[in-house]
Amino acid sequence: SGVFVQGGSYGVCRRTFSPSFLEQVPFCQRRSYLYPIPAASVADDGRWEGPANCLHGFCLYSTARRDSVLVTNGENAKAVMSMLSVDQRRAHGSSNQAQEEEMFRVAEVPGKGIGLIAKRLIREGDEVMVRRPSLVVQVAAQARINLQLRDELYGRALDAVSHDTRQKLMAMVGHDLGDKIDKNCFRLRMGADEAVDSADHYLACYPDVARLNHDCRPSLVYSIENGTHTVSAVRDISVGEELSISYIRLLSPRAQRLAELRHWGFECSCAQCTMSNMQAAQSDARLRAISGLEADLDNSRQKLVMPETGHVLVDLYEQERLHVYMGRAYTKAALNYAAFGMEEEAERYAKLAAEAAKRESGSGSADFESMKSLSENPTAHWIWGYRLEEH
Ligand SMILES: C[S@@+](CC[C@H](N)C(=O)[O-])C[C@H]1O[C@@H](n2cnc3c(N)ncnc32)[C@H](O)[C@@H]1O
C-alpha cells in the first residue's frame, strides 16, 4: 500500500508507494459486534449509504451504485464519506472509455505480469486515467485485526459491491483481498495533521490503476485529491512503450531501491535497475549530486550557490530521466532565481513548476498555488532578493 502526502484539508500522502510493513496486532477486546444501524444515521450526502452492518468494530458503507465500498470505524465514517464525495464529476468510469481504449491496451509484459502499453503517441501532460476508488479500507482494519476476522469483514465488503466491481477487485495481484490491498492500493492520510495515528490512514484501491507496473524512471505521475486518482504523462510516450508509475521514492541509489522493492515481493526488472554496474554507478553519482545541490539550495547561508545552480539541478534531473520529479527541480530553480532577484528566469521556471505541480500534486495543492503566485508576481514573494549582497 502506498503513501502520498500533499497539502489540502484531507492531505493525500505523497511519499512512497511502499508495502505497509504494519505489524499484525492481535485483535484486542475493544469492540466485537455485529448489528444493523438505521441507514440514515450517518450518510446524509445521498451518495454513500450505510452502514450496512458493522463487524469487529468496523462498519461497511457503499455507494448507491455499488461501485465502491468503505470499511471504517463509525467515528471516522462521516468525514471520510464527505471527503470522498467532493469532486466526483471529474472521475469517469466509462464516459472516457473510448478515449482510453485508443490510448492504451492491457498486455502481458515479460517478467512483470500484466501491464499497460501505449497504443498511440501520448504527449507530456496528457491525462491518462481518472478513477474513483472501488474499495477504501481503514489501515486499522487491514493491519490490526486478526486474519480470520479480517477475512470475514472483507467477505462482507465484497458482498456490498456489484459483481463487476468485485471481479475487478479480485483481478488485482495477490492471494486474497488483504494481500491484494497490500500489493496494489494507495495510502490516503486523513486529516490535516501529519502526526495523525497511521491506524487512521486509509488504503484506497483503484483496480484499473493497479495494472500499472513500477519503473524507477516512470512515464506517468499521479496525484490523489479527495480520493480521486489522476494519472498523467510526464513525458512523451511512444507507441508500444509500457506505461509506468513509481511505487517508491526514486532519489535513492539502485541497491536501496531494489531492496525496497523486494519488500514489495518482486525483483525490479526496469531498465534503470538492470543497467550495467558502470552505468548504475554513474547514475548513483548523479543522484548524490542532486542531493548535494538540493541541500545547498535549501541552505540560505551556502555561499557556493549561484543563480544558475537551480538550472544545473534541472539539468541533472533531466539527465537522470527523472521527469516525474521535474516539479521539484523547477520549483527549486524558480525560488533560487527569485532569491537572486532575476525576474524573467524566476517567472519562466515558476510557470514550468506550476504546470508540473498540478500533475504531481493536483490543482488544489499548496505546491501548485505557490508556484502559480510566484510566476504571476515574483517580486512579491518573500524570497525575492534573499541571496543578494545586502542579506
Ligand atoms: C500493482 S501490480 C501491477 C500489475 C501486475 N503486473 C498485474 O499483473 O496485475 C504490482 C505487481 O506487478 C509486478 N511488477 C510491477 N512492477 C514490476 C517491475 N518493475 N519489475 C518486476 N515486476 C513488477 C510485481 O509482481 C508486483 O507485485
What is the 132 CA–ligand 1 centroid distance (Å)? 21
Residue 236 lies in a domain: yes
Strand pairing partners for 244?
A: 213
Same structural domain for residues 233 and 286? no
Are residues 184 and 309 located together in one domain of the fold?
Answer: no
Same domain, 27 and 176: yes
- Cβ-based neighbours of 247, under 8 Å, separated by 6 or more: 2, 16, 17, 18, 214, 261, 264
- For 102-136, how does the pLDDT look when each residue is reduced to its tens digit (9 = 90+)? 999 999 999 999 999 999 999 999 999 999 999 99
Locate all alpha helices (DSSP H) within the chain, ordered by sequence: 74-85, 97-103, 139-143, 147-159, 163-170, 177-184, 254-262, 271-274, 277-298, 309-319, 326-339, 343-361, 366-376
Residue 325's domain comprises 277-380
Q: In the structure grid, which three cell numbers stand for residue 56, read together?
A: 469487529
Q: Which among 214, 216, 250, 258 is the best mutation to test ligand 1's pocket, defined by most ligand atoms within 8 Å of the CB?
A: 214
Q: Which atom of ligand 1 is nearest to the CA of 210?
A: 1
196 and 56, same domain (yes or no):
yes
Greatest alpha-carbon pair distance for the chain in Å reads 70
| Torsion over CA: 363, 368, 372, 373 (sign) | positive
Ligand 1 centroid distance, CA of 268 (Å): 9
Identify whether 183 is part of a domain: yes
Q: What is the pLDDT along the chain (391 residues), one digit of tens a residue?
A: 333 323 222 122 232 222 332 222 222 222 222 223 334 334 444 489 999 889 999 999 999 999 999 999 999 999 999 889 876 555 555 457 888 999 999 999 999 999 999 999 999 999 999 999 999 999 999 998 999 999 999 999 999 999 999 999 999 999 999 999 999 999 997 654 555 667 789 999 999 999 999 999 999 999 999 999 999 999 999 999 999 999 999 999 999 999 999 998 999 999 999 999 999 999 999 999 999 999 999 999 999 999 999 999 999 999 999 999 999 999 999 999 999 999 999 999 999 999 999 999 888 899 999 999 999 999 999 999 999 975 5
Whole-number Å distance, alpha carbon 45 to ligand 1 midpoint, is: 37
On whether both 60 and 124 belong to a single domain, the answer is yes
Q: Using a 6 Å CB cutoff, which residues line ligand 1?
A: 111-115, 173, 183-184, 210-211, 213-215, 264-266, 268-270
Separation of CA 192 and ligand 1 centre (Å):
32
Interface confidence (ipTM) of the complex: 1.00
Confidence at residue 14, expressed as pLDDT on a 0 to 100 scale: 30
On whether both 82 and 195 belong to a single domain, the answer is yes
Q: Assess if residue 250 is contained within a domain.
A: no
Phi, psi of 136 (to 5 degrees): -130, 125
Please identify, by atom number, the ligand 1 atom nearest to the C-alpha of residue 269: 20
**pLDDT tens per residue, range 162-206:** 999 999 999 999 999 999 999 999 999 765 455 566 778 999 999
Is residue 386 assigned to a domain? no
Q: Of the residues 245, 269, 304, which one is the last residue of a structural domain? A: 245
Domain termination residue (choose one: 228, 245, 262): 245
The whole-number pLDDT of residue 95 equals: 55
User: Does 259 reside within a domain?
Assistant: no
Contact partners, residue 36, CB within 8 Å, separation at least 6: 52, 53
Please indicate, yes or no, if residue 31 is contained in any of the structural domains. Answer: yes
Please count the structural domains in the chain.
Answer: 2
Q: 228 and 140: one domain?
A: yes
CA of 264 to the centre of ligand 1 (A): 9
Residue 391 in domain: no
Q: What distance in angstroms lies between residue 213's CA and the mean position of ligand 1's atoms? A: 5
359 CB-contact burial (10 Å; exposed 0-12 / middle 13-18 / buried 19+): buried
Q: How far is the CA of 337 from the centre of ligand 1 (A)?
A: 41
DSSP string, 192-243: S-TTS-GGG-EEEE-TTGGGPEE-SS-SEEEEEETTEEEEEESS-B-TTPEE
State which ligand 1 atom lies nearest to the alpha carbon of 244: 16
Between the CA of 263 and the centroid of ligand 1 the distance, in Å, is 13
Question: What pLDDT, on the 0 to 100 scale, is given for residue 24?
Answer: 22
* C-beta separation of 181 from 205 below 8 A: yes
pLDDT value at residue 390:
56
Same domain, 154 and 18: yes
Which atom, in ligand 1's list, is nearest to the CA of 172?
A: 9
What pLDDT is recorded for position 198?
79
User: Cβ neighbours of residue 212 under 8 Å, at least 6 residues apart?
Assistant: 115, 116, 220, 231, 243, 244, 245
Tell me how crowded residue 57 is: count the other CB atoms within 10 A of its CB: 20
Q: Say if 117 falls within a structural domain.
A: yes
Residue minimizing CA distance to atom 26 of ligand 1 = 266
Q: Within this chain, do residues 203 and 86 fall inside the same structural domain, yes or no?
A: yes
Q: Does one domain contain both 12 and 101?
A: yes
Distance in angstroms (rounded) separating the CA atoms of residues 282 and 278? 6
Calculate the CA 372 to chain-centre distance: 22
How far is the C-alpha of 359 from the C-alpha of 6, rounded, in Å?
12
Cα of 22 vs centre of ligand 1, distance in Å, is 21
Q: Do 1 and 9 form a contact (C-beta atoms < 8 A)?
A: no
Does one domain contain both 365 and 312?
yes
User: Ligand 1, residues 112, 243, 247, 258: which to mutate, most atoms within 8 A of Cβ?
Assistant: 112
pTM: 0.86
Domain at 179, CATH number: 2.170.270.10
Residues 237 and 286 in one domain: no
- The atom number, within ligand 1, closest to the CA of 273 reads 19
| Boundary of a domain, candidates 245, 268, 298 | 245
